[in-house]
Structure formats: structure tokens, C-alpha cells
Amino acid sequence: MLLAIDAGNTNVVFAVFDGDEKRGQWRISTDSRRTADEYAVWLFSLMALKGLKPADVDAAILSSVVPAATFDLTNLCTRHFGCQPMRIGDPAVDLGIKVLIDNPREAGADRIVNSIAAAQTYPPPLIIVDIGTGTTFDVVDADGNFVGGAIAPGPNLALDALHRVAAQLPKVDIVRPASVIGKGTVGAMQSGMYWGYTSMIEGLLGRLSAELSPSGTPPVTVIATGGLGRTFAEAIPMIHHVDNELTMRGLLSVYKRNTRT
């Protein structure tokens, strides 16, 4: 079985695949101080609830945008599962997608993996909007190549910053408010965060789409993903699909591509 690991800025997600079947998926908050042994104790317990044992895993693949966590996640695989993980970003790993940006090594592993899965699922050209710690826009051209995109702070990150620097502003949840005009501080903050980010996402999607397909033919398909993808997709007609399985499907695809015999 394959252990797939996606280490993001907010969470580390683990999944176990038996062929194409996902047998289980779990997430834990990202903490660069967490050791391989701590990951193992936590993960083994959850795997057992699904009837899985560490010995069932004989391969691993790792995507990480948190260098400080990569070492211990690699040790988790080698020490507790007995396998060296395949790494997204390793030049020896065939991604099956061309990364056509100025410095391909700068592209985040999660952005590339999402683009791979999206290009295999939806007709390009594509824009993948990942709304999490950051809000990233990943662009795949009509030939299926990753050609860049845009990066902005995520809604929760912006909200935390606002709460920290403004003493009178409370911490609020990001939800779709009943009206754009807030009738109090909480309502005003929720409106600013929700509708402000909605407008930003709509604006960037429009500009990116115009550059990607100036004539509108072929049409651009937009996919939302990430922890807040569905929340914002409800208000943005330009988003055609919500797909929170992109990263794991992309990791599985890369692993299979590099282990064909």
C-alpha cells in the first residue's frame, strides 16, 4: 500500500491507498517541532481504526511546502514504514507535466500536484483556486502545462493579522453574511472578509482567464479547492467545480507514473 503525505502550512494530510482505493485519510495541524515518533504514534492509532497496520505500507510519496517538517516526515517513512519516500520536487521524479515558469524549482509542490490532478480530470485550460493559508491561483494552459499564476494571503491569515494589530476588532469566523452592509463590528468584518475576498477572487479569475484564453475559445475551466474553497465557490459563478481531492489524486498519479514497469 502507498502512504501519501501532503505537508501544507496549516495541516499535514496523510492517506493510505490500496491501488486506486483510498483506505483512509487523516490530518493533523502542521508543527515543525513534531517528531517522527510523534507522527507515528498518532498515525498508527488512526490507521488501526481502519484495520490497517504499518506493515501494510510498502511505499510513500511526500509533497511538502514546509521545509522544517520535511525532515521528520521523511524519517517517519524510513524509520516507521521502512521505505524512502518519493519526493515531489526531486529532479529524478517524473511529474508528467511541464513547468513553464522562470525558475521551475520555485513552484510549490502542492501547486504542481494540484495542477497535475486537475489536468487529468478537467479539460484545459484551467485555473485552480486553492483557498487556504494562502490563496493561490494555478494556471494550466490548453496543452496541459503549468504556466504560473498568482499568490495572495488567505482569508484566515488576513483575519488573524487584522485581529492582532487592531485592539478593538474581535476574532470572527469567515462565513457568508446575510448582507454586504454590516450593522455592527462583527458583521462589518465578516462582510469585508467574505465579500472582499470574493471580489478579489472574481477579479483575478477574470484577468487570468483573459490572458490565458483571450478569445474565450477554448473556455477556461475553474476549480476551487482548499479548506475554504466551497465557502467562497457558493458566491462565485465563475467557479465551475469544487474538488478537495486534487492533492491526493495528484500524488497517487505521480507515484504510479514513476513506478510503472
User: Which residues participate in catalysis according to the annotation?
Assistant: 110
Please, are residues 151 and 134 in contact by the beta-carbon 8 Å criterion?
A: yes
Please, are residues 149 and 104 in contact by the beta-carbon 8 Å criterion?
A: no
- Asked if residue 7 belongs to a known ligand binding site, the reply is yes
- Asked if residue 12 belongs to a known ligand binding site, the reply is yes
Contacts of 142 (CB under 8 A, 6+ apart): 124, 125, 213, 218
- Asked if residue 130 belongs to a known ligand binding site, the reply is yes
- Asked if residue 6 belongs to a known ligand binding site, the reply is yes
- Asked if residue 185 belongs to a known ligand binding site, the reply is yes
- Asked if residue 109 belongs to a known ligand binding site, the reply is yes
* Count of C-beta atoms within a 10 Å radius of residue 60: 26
- Asked if residue 108 belongs to a known ligand binding site, the reply is yes
Place of cell 485555473: 127
- Asked if residue 4 belongs to a known ligand binding site, the reply is no
Q: Please report, in range form, the residues annotated as the binding site for ATP.
A: 6-13, 133
Q: Which residues belong to the annotated binding site for substrate? A: 108-111, 185
Known binding-site residue numbers for K(+): 130
Residues at the binding site are 6-13, 108-111, 130, 133, 185
